[in-house]
Structure 1
Amino acid sequence: MQRNYFQYTSLLLSLLLLMTACEEEKSIIPAAKTQLQNDVIKRTLGPNLVGLNIEFAYAMALAPERGKLVSAQVEASIPGAGGTYLETKTYSTNGSGEDVGIVVGTALPTEGKITKVNFTKDTSASTLRYYYIIPEAARGQEVTFNFSATSSTGETVSYQMGPYKIAKMDMKLDLTVTDDKASYISIEDMAVYTAAEAATRANKIDLVYLYRSIPNITFNHALVSPGASAEYLPGITLPSGVNRRSKVRKEWNLRDFHLARLQFGVYVDDLDFEKINLADSPAYAINMRAESGAWVETADGKYRAYIYVNSVNNGGKSARISIKRYTL
């Protein structure tokens, strides 16, 4: 019995200690803050390219009994291009995982670096989207953002984001190349030309697109430097002066998200162009397929590019391509 008594006493003491620990743990939970608070997340991924946007979600709130939101603004270190705006809707996620927006304010005209919204709804909590359209002035620079909000209590809060590096590279989407028609590609211009047009800008033509179905040879869709051996340009009579020899390397399974716009979260960035070594690359890439690509360095060493093949059309002897270009 004495042993049972000690066992019971030990168990009771253990339970009391556990209850005490739980009460102590509860007692240290801090009280909810009622003052104005804010937070920011960056929603866009990958390299920041001129012409594209950087998207943020700016959340701000205070206790309803304390007051309401009056205004929110974002100040960029470099003024955004046209189309930069702070959303006037507050967003929440419904049971299906969809974003639902409700108008809560009015946008003021952007003044230089500052984009602002005044709240018109009686609300104490809001999440606004901010879209910064990257301007040419930011190319190769760094940009920062200062988010801030004001409440009816006179309180203000702010949140700094960045710096974010803006890429040096350029991008051009959805160019159609067609065999024996619009088949001459200029990396400098990021454009496609006919033979007649190519003759007037011979020093800017870097590649020829062609499609060939040759028995016992897998040629099909190809990107070939004008300076390549004639066997890689079957049936092609180059316009006068079109003879530059670019370096070309075929690439598989590099579906850059900006160019492909598919589900793959892969990006070609400035650093990729800086580090790639194309010195021993050939002057052609044959048997190109949809979702393949090619690295290119121009004959004058001025540009490197990544050309992505969005789609091919064997019957039409054509393809749709997109380009990222980096100035060396």
Structure 2
Amino acid sequence: MATVTTEFVNPPQNVAFCHASTIAYSHGHLVAAWLAGSKEAANDVGVWVARLDGSQWSAPVRVADGLSPDGKAMTVINPILFSPKRGPLMLFYRRGKLPDDWHPLRMTSLDGGATWSKPDTLRPNISGPAKDKPVELTNGIVIAGSSTEYGGWKIHFERSKDGGNTWDVVYPPVGPRPVQAIQPAILDHGQGKLQALVRTKSGFVFSTKSRDWGKTWSVLAPLDIPNSNSGLDAVTLNDGRDLIVTNPLPYVEGRWDRHKLSVFISADRRTYRNVLDLENEANQEFSYPAVIQSPDGMVHITYTWKKVHIKHVVLDPKRIH
């Protein structure tokens, strides 16, 4: 079995809703963040953080909320942790009620997530990462997968040449049939070759590729991985294979079927094998995975477990054949 350990990041919190986790490795340990509050999109939803010191997760700490500078209570959306090679750990999230009024914010931590700066607003026309971690390439360029959800779902990419402090926007071309797509997960295939996998309403995961360090991208095309309109994440492993975590279920308009969460592997970037079901329980939700590979080679996955916990699974990729 590829599974090394499984555990809950957060103990039973005094909240009814828990979702949208993210994970990073910083200062020699893992850091996780997620949303928690009374219900999704409620004004009391905040961003919580815990750190894995040794073998135990620290008690969750609320580090951000939806309070605007004028004191108005709003909700928060999709925290994303990013640990650059140089510089502080970053936490991106959005504040606001409706997709056309989301305000992207960024906080930083110099001590691996123990303490955080006050939030800074990203400059106009920058959305920040939509759900999944930015990727730092070998030439130092950072690519974030971004998207907007007003006036139709659209993806774009944001590139940074200064470690994630300032960004430029890149739009992929729209094909003859526009695809409703959001939340790109970026795979780094080396030497400037990138692939982004996206959530869609078209029944499958779609993909776009770049050969020039993310300056230009191809038209979106479907992969042979079902997608039920649910978030996914992916990582290119040290051994060159791509590992994807997703809900491989058919899309049914008006329904949210996320009862099965699975791990796929690709060795050739064309064919994808389901190698492990993390969860499979009818009428439950296991969703919004985040995945990284830590310096020791282990794969760390966090995800929403029935909307009440964040689950952490450790896999040994050498045991995945």
Normalising to structure 1: TM-score of the pair? 0.23
Report which of the two structures shows the higher radius of gyration computed on alpha carbons: 1
- Structure number having the greater strand percentage: 2
TM-score normalised per structure 2: 0.24
